[in-house]
A and B are shown apart, each in its own frame.
Chain A
Amino acid sequence: MELLVASAIGILTAAGLYLVMRLRTFPVIMGISLLTYAVNVFLFASGRLKVGAPPILTDATNYTDPLPQALVLTAIVISFGMTAVVVMVALGAYLGSDDDHVDDPVDDTTKPEDAA
């Protein structure tokens, strides 16, 4: 079981990294989303894996670790806000320049005196 979760985190990370290194905004956003999954699952897994022991207090004595869950819960919600902002920025840049490259255009990165 642990191997499955660990390999899932690995696959998500690898795919996320690859997409983040693409040149257009949309795949980069997709890559960031995949990395978000990977990070959230990774943090969640820091409470170790337990099946059938939710942290809802009953008469039982065996519970899974609630703390990573609380942290990941807010992380999931915040990641929505972050994705929305990034998408908005990407959209604004595309609509303004008709170009959805993530690289700066060459003339932005060279010195003004070189361009002149």
Chain B
Amino acid sequence: MSLFLVVAVPFLGALLPGLMYSAGRAACAGVTFTVTLVAFVGLLTNLPAVIAGEVVTVGVDWLPSLGLNVTFMLDGLGFFFASLILGIGLLIITYARYYLSRDDNMGEFFTYLLLFQGAMVGIVLSNNILLLLIFWELTSLSSFLLIGYWKHLPEGRQGARMALAVTGMGGLAMVGGMLILGNIVGSYDLTVILENRDLIQASPLYLPALILILLGCFTKSAQFPFHFWLPHAMAAPTPVSAYLHSATMVKAGIFLMARMWPVLSGTTEWFVIVTTAGLITMVLGAVIALFKHDLKALLAFSTVSHLGLITMLLGTGTAFGAMAAVFHILNHATFKAALFLSAGIIDHEAHTRDIRRLGGLRHLMPITFIIATLAALSMAGIPFLNGFLSKEMMLEEANHTVLFNSPMLVPVLATIGSLFSAAYCFRLIGHVFLGPVRDDYPAKPHDPGFGMWGPPSLLVILVVVIGSAPFLAEPFVKMVTASVLGSTAEVPSNYLKIWHGLVPALYMSIIAVVGGLIVLAIFKPLLKAWDATPRPEAKTIFDAIIAAAVTLARGVTHTLHNGAFTRYAAIFAVTVIGVGYHAWATGTVGPATREMQPVGIVPIAGWLMLAAATIGMVFMHRNRLMSLILIGIVGLMVSIGFVFFSAPDLAMTQITVEVVTIILLLLALNFLPNQTPVESTAFRRMRDIIVAVAGGLATMAISYHYLLRDTVAPTISDFHLANSYKGGGGTNVVNVILVDFRGFDTYGEIIVLGIAALLIYALTETLLSGPVRARLLNRKPDQPRAGDMHPMMMVVLTRVIMPVVLMVGFYIFLRGHNEPGGGFIAGLVVSIGVVMQYMASGFSWASARLRYPYHGIIGAGVLVAGLTGIGSWFVGKPFLTSDFEYVRIPPFQEFELATAAAFDLGVFLAVVGAVMLSLESFSRLARRAHVADSDYPMDIDPSRDEKAEA
């Protein structure tokens, strides 16, 4: 099966348990098992090629410009890990089916498990380091979901968060390291990187890359000082712990160190960092494990310790060390998974994992006793079990390792680690299974069904078989070792065997086992001493660091971002002014290339009015109606300015928008207070004035300087001028740009406008369906109302003028392509005409005559514009390609038909709909309960009054 499928199957299969959720627990587990089995068999079909020494690769280019390609490779190392992940996965799935209770959502569990499995398989098979990083992060995320699976347990949630924080942080560091590595080599392909050992190790960036990558590996594989997250992840359901700790998650870091071994190892830096971290982790984990009373915590620290052992072996940088590491990965996976599963059985049956409350279980749970004892003895390093073999190799390697110029340091520490390792294994057997049967277990323990003891017993059979007949595993171990070493070294010729003669390693082993028994014998006083010793608690430190980070972040946020809009505005303005000033002060200004144009009396008059109105607004802004009037003047002056400076389209747009904006603000002011009270202090006002004046001067300076200079590069405007008529068929270049050259922009803009209007509508609906509604209905206006709400003169005038307005709108629309005008302006003009009807004749009169809802008009506009664009696909052109033709229908003159006109129609409709929907929404707020909506356009109608009197 293609490697693509091997990786993809778990991900695709992850959908199934969720879908099968209602089909029952067995179906969920069954489908998960099948998915994993398919992937496993698919992996095995590649085994012959791997045995033949080939490296199976598949790949497609994904983002070749970034060097990110989906390529997978399978060599001995990848095969080893993938088979561990999938093989142990099968056992875990079987076990979990019986372990989880009826209350647990099994579909969710197996979905997470498959996601995690897929991510792990992705890591070990990736041939592109960027792809590997993606899978790496995916394992962090999916393990977060698995560890926190029991959401009701606070420890579960905290443990999951801690695991995510630590491994995620390491992952980030690794991203940096991998990018450096890819940069050194010039390729992100793993196969290429692995061939460039000399290039990488000679690079000055080798050390930073190494440290960053090791940070990723150490956090993932729980190496000192990042070991603390792993025991807290124990809050996960036991199948998860067994899976994460034996074959997968924590082995990912180990895998990566092995994968990168050919290019990163062999240097002093690698040796010192990796060996030291491994050694400390091994001893520390073993010592702590001994004193843990929770069975799973004991196993967790023993995992930490064994990971340290493997790390140390990889750190030595010798071929023999690598082989010992590979062998121990295999052995540890088997006995540790078996032990975790046994711990789960005990927890499941005795309802406690506290070693102090257990004991004597060998009579009650004989099968579990045999399984757990064999696995634990293997971990302790007892001959004829597989743990003994790799531990011997480790001690042998330790004997040859000289760290910090001391030939004794490593062997002694390795022996101490092994001694404590043996001690906690003996404690596990002795305090849980041996001893008298008690009568105070929380539940009556007995052996579980085959579904739960079957998987660990399979593993223990492996433990015994490898332990007694190591030559069976030898070809496999050597094959994996060969792919770890790559071309850097020969696979050692040493045989995997039980008896090496009377070598130092054997004596060290004997010391460790005997010492372990002695430690167990004096366990009680030792525990007392341990409990009396003050130790730094990793979780407390971690929590303190997190709390400090949160406090810092909160402080920064509250200083810069305290919820007061004014503060952001001030900070933003000051920053921009500061940056601008810096650019000004450090840069140079070229000479002016344009001459200042002469000023007439009209521009000066306009400027004076604009300046007076603007400054007046600042002084009179507390009177809100007044500032509304003044802003009207400002808008008017800006429009006149546009006319003056050759922008008739802009002027028409500005003036119509001005009208609708003022109406809108008037409607809003209806509800808001009329005055703005004095609140800020004089100091504050002075500060604001300084910031505002600085900002004004800055914009003035930049505008002035660039108005007097030509652009550095030729603009693209000449293209538009030259092609407007030729290509777009219109002489109004601005309109042609809008509907043709940049039609796609315009299309986006009418959609935005439509969304804004719909948002206003939705907000109005929300307001009117909430508690505000009653307030609005019963509100007393703060200003006296006009007695004559709909003056006759105004009603008559607006109605007479309506056809004229529509005609003007139509005219402006039609001529837009060649003369100032177009859809935007026509839409605004027509909107004003309609709004006048609302104002003069009343809301209900106007609404009653509304045939199409405004949402529909917006939608129709967007649709028309969109369909016009799509129309060009049918003639094989890109979206919104325009076309035009001159036609002549007698007796009219020749005129132009352009597709752009249809697009402009869409713009027109969208603008009308959006403007009207916004204004209508605002007016709906103003309707009141005690003022009945009159059906009549005019409140005062003598003819009606007479009828009523009669």
Distance between Cα atoms of A3 and B646 in the complex (Å)? 18
Chain B neighbourhood of A3, CB < 8 A: 596, 704
- Asked if B565 CB lies within 8 Å of chain A CBs, one says yes
Q: Which residue of A lies closest to B610 (CB)?
A: A8
Check A22 against B621 for contact (C-beta < 8 Å): yes
Q: Which residue of B lies closest to A40 (CB)?
A: B638
Chain B neighbourhood of A79, CB < 8 A: 657
Q: Distance (Å) between the CB of A24 and the closest chain B CB?
A: 5
Q: Which 10 A-B pairs have the closest CB atoms?
A: A14-B696, A10-B700, A104-B563, A81-B756, A6-B704, A18-B692, A70-B737, A57-B731, A103-B564, A66-B733
Q: Which residue of A lies closest to B914 (CB)?
A: A81
Which A31-48 residues sit within 8 Å CB-CB of chain B?
33-34, 37-38, 40-42, 44-48
Check A9 against B657 for contact (C-beta < 8 Å): no
Chain B neighbourhood of A29, CB < 8 A: 665
Check B734 against A69 for contact (C-beta < 8 Å): yes
- Asked if A116 CB lies within 8 Å of chain B CBs, one says no
Chain B neighbourhood of A19, CB < 8 A: 617-618, 621
Distance between Cα atoms of A12 and B617 in the complex (Å)? 10
Chain A neighbourhood of B688, CB < 8 A: 17-18, 21
- Asked if A115 CB lies within 8 Å of chain B CBs, one says no
Check B721 against A66 for contact (C-beta < 8 Å): yes
Which A97-112 residues sit within 8 Å CB-CB of chain B?
100, 102-104, 108-109, 111
Distance between Cα atoms of A41 and B611 in the complex (Å)? 14
* Cross-chain contact of B752 among A9, A45, A73, A78 (Cβ < 8 A): A78
- Asked if B441 CB lies within 8 Å of chain A CBs, one says no
Interface range on chain B (Cβ under 8 Å from partner): 35 or more
Check A102 against B708 for contact (C-beta < 8 Å): no
Chain A neighbourhood of B624, CB < 8 A: 26-27
Chain A neighbourhood of B775, CB < 8 A: 95
Distance between Cα atoms of A17 and B628 in the complex (Å)? 17
Check B660 against A77 for contact (C-beta < 8 Å): no
Task: Show the binding face of B for A, using Cβ within 8 Å.
Answer: 554, 558, 562-566, 569-570, 573, 594, 596-599, 603-604, 607, 610-611, 614-615, 617-618, 621, 624, 627-628, 631, 634-635, 638, 641-642, 644-650, 653-654, 657, 660-661, 664-665, 668-669, 671-673, 676-677, 679-680, 688-689, 691-693, 695-697, 699-701, 703-704, 706-708, 710, 715-717, 720-721, 724-725, 731-734, 737-738, 742, 745-746, 749, 752-753, 756-757, 759-760, 763-764, 766-767, 770-772, 775-776, 818-820, 824, 828, 911, 914-915, 918, 921-922, 925
| 18 A-B residue pairs with CB within 8 Å | A3-B596, A5-B645, A15-B615, A19-B618, A30-B631, A44-B645, A45-B703, A55-B646, A74-B746, A74-B824, A77-B753, A78-B752, A79-B657, A81-B918, A84-B664, A84-B757, A95-B671, A96-B771
Q: Which residue of B lies closest to A87 (CB)?
A: B668
Given contacts A27-B627, A73-B650, contact A88 B721 (CB under 8 A): no
Given contacts A13-B699, A18-B689, contact A82 B756 (CB under 8 A): yes
Q: Which residue of A lies closest to B660 (CB)?
A: A80
Check A34 against B820 for contact (C-beta < 8 Å): no
Chain A neighbourhood of B771, CB < 8 A: 96
Check B731 against A17 for contact (C-beta < 8 Å): no
Given contacts A9-B703, A13-B699, contact A77 B657 (CB under 8 A): yes
Check A84 against B646 for contact (C-beta < 8 Å): no
Distance between Cα atoms of A14 and B165 in the complex (Å)? 46
Check B661 against A74 for contact (C-beta < 8 Å): no
* Cross-chain contact of A78 among B631, B749, B766, B925 (Cβ < 8 A): B749
* Cross-chain contact of B756 among A23, A30, A49, A84 (Cβ < 8 A): A84
Chain B neighbourhood of A11, CB < 8 A: 610-611, 614-615, 696, 700
Chain B neighbourhood of A85, CB < 8 A: 756, 759-760
Q: Which residue of A lies closest to B755 (CB)?
A: A81
Check A67 against B594 for contact (C-beta < 8 Å): no
Q: Which residue of B lies closest to A53 (CB)?
A: B646
Chain B neighbourhood of A17, CB < 8 A: 569, 573, 688, 691-692, 695-696
Check A44 against B642 for contact (C-beta < 8 Å): yes
Q: Which residue of B lies closest to A49 (CB)?
A: B645
Check B647 against A64 for contact (C-beta < 8 Å): yes
Check B597 against A49 for contact (C-beta < 8 Å): yes
Check A109 against B563 for contact (C-beta < 8 Å): yes
Chain A neighbourhood of B820, CB < 8 A: 54, 56
Check B615 against A69 for contact (C-beta < 8 Å): no
Chain A neighbourhood of B672, CB < 8 A: 25-26, 90-91, 94, 100
Q: Which residue of A lies closest to B910 (CB)?
A: A77
Distance between Cα atoms of A27 and B615 in the complex (Å)? 14
Residue of A73, A85, A100, A109 most packed against chain B (CB within 10 A): A73
Given contacts A11-B610, A49-B645, A73-B649, contact A56 B732 (CB under 8 A): yes
Distance between Cα atoms of A90 and B925 in the complex (Å)? 14
Check B757 against A81 for contact (C-beta < 8 Å): yes
Chain A neighbourhood of B648, CB < 8 A: 54, 56
* Cross-chain contact of A104 among B564, B700, B763, B819 (Cβ < 8 A): B564
Check A52 against B646 for contact (C-beta < 8 Å): yes
* Cross-chain contact of B703 among A6, A55, A90 (Cβ < 8 A): A6
Check A4 against B603 for contact (C-beta < 8 Å): yes
Q: Which residue of B lies closest to A84 (CB)?
A: B918
Chain B neighbourhood of A5, CB < 8 A: 641, 645, 703, 707
Check B721 against A48 for contact (C-beta < 8 Å): no
Q: Distance (Å) between the CB of A26 and the closest chain B CB?
A: 5
Q: Distance (Å) between the CB of A53 and the closest chain B CB?
A: 5
* Cross-chain contact of A102 among B564, B644, B693, B700 (Cβ < 8 A): B564
List 4 additional A-B contacts (Cβ < 8 Å) besides A5-B645, A88-B759: A4-B604, A11-B610, A13-B696, A34-B634
Distance between Cα atoms of A54 and B635 in the complex (Å)? 21
Given contacts A2-B708, A81-B757, A85-B759, contact A13 B607 (CB under 8 A): no
Q: Distance (Å) between the CB of B600 and the closest chain A CB?
A: 9
Residue of B570, B668, B745 most packed against chain A (CB within 10 A): B668
Chain A neighbourhood of B644, CB < 8 A: 51
Distance between Cα atoms of A66 and B734 in the complex (Å)? 5
Distance between Cα atoms of A90 and B665 in the complex (Å)? 11
Q: Which residue of A lies closest to B819 (CB)?
A: A56
Chain B neighbourhood of A20, CB < 8 A: 565-566, 569
Check B603 against A89 for contact (C-beta < 8 Å): no
Given contacts A2-B596, A4-B603, A80-B915, contact A73 B653 (CB under 8 A): yes
Chain B neighbourhood of A63, CB < 8 A: 646, 721, 733
Q: Which residue of B lies closest to A72 (CB)?
A: B650
Chain B neighbourhood of A49, CB < 8 A: 597, 645, 707
Given contacts A10-B703, A66-B737, contact A4 B607 (CB under 8 A): yes
Chain A neighbourhood of B604, CB < 8 A: 4
Chain A neighbourhood of B628, CB < 8 A: 30
Chain B neighbourhood of A73, CB < 8 A: 649-650, 653, 734, 738, 824
Q: Distance (Å) between the CB of A34 and the closest chain B CB?
A: 7
Distance between Cα atoms of A94 and B914 in the complex (Å)? 24
Check B645 against A84 for contact (C-beta < 8 Å): no
Given contacts A4-B604, A12-B634, A30-B631, contact A18 B745 (CB under 8 A): no
Q: Distance (Å) between the CB of A48 and the closest chain B CB?
A: 6
Check B721 against A57 for contact (C-beta < 8 Å): yes
Check B598 against A1 for contact (C-beta < 8 Å): yes
Chain A neighbourhood of B564, CB < 8 A: 102-104
Residue of A12, A40, A45 most packed against chain B (CB within 10 A): A12
Check A1 against B721 for contact (C-beta < 8 Å): no
Given contacts A1-B596, A73-B650, A84-B760, contact A102 B669 (CB under 8 A): no
Check A37 against B638 for contact (C-beta < 8 Å): yes
Chain B neighbourhood of A104, CB < 8 A: 562-564
Distance between Cα atoms of A5 and B680 in the complex (Å)? 32
Residue of A26, A41, A47, A79 most packed against chain B (CB within 10 A): A26
Distance between Cα atoms of A76 and B638 in the complex (Å)? 12
Distance between Cα atoms of A102 and B389 in the complex (Å)? 72
Chain B neighbourhood of A67, CB < 8 A: 715-717, 720, 737
Q: Distance (Å) between the CB of A49 and the closest chain B CB?
A: 5
Chain B neighbourhood of A65, CB < 8 A: 715, 717
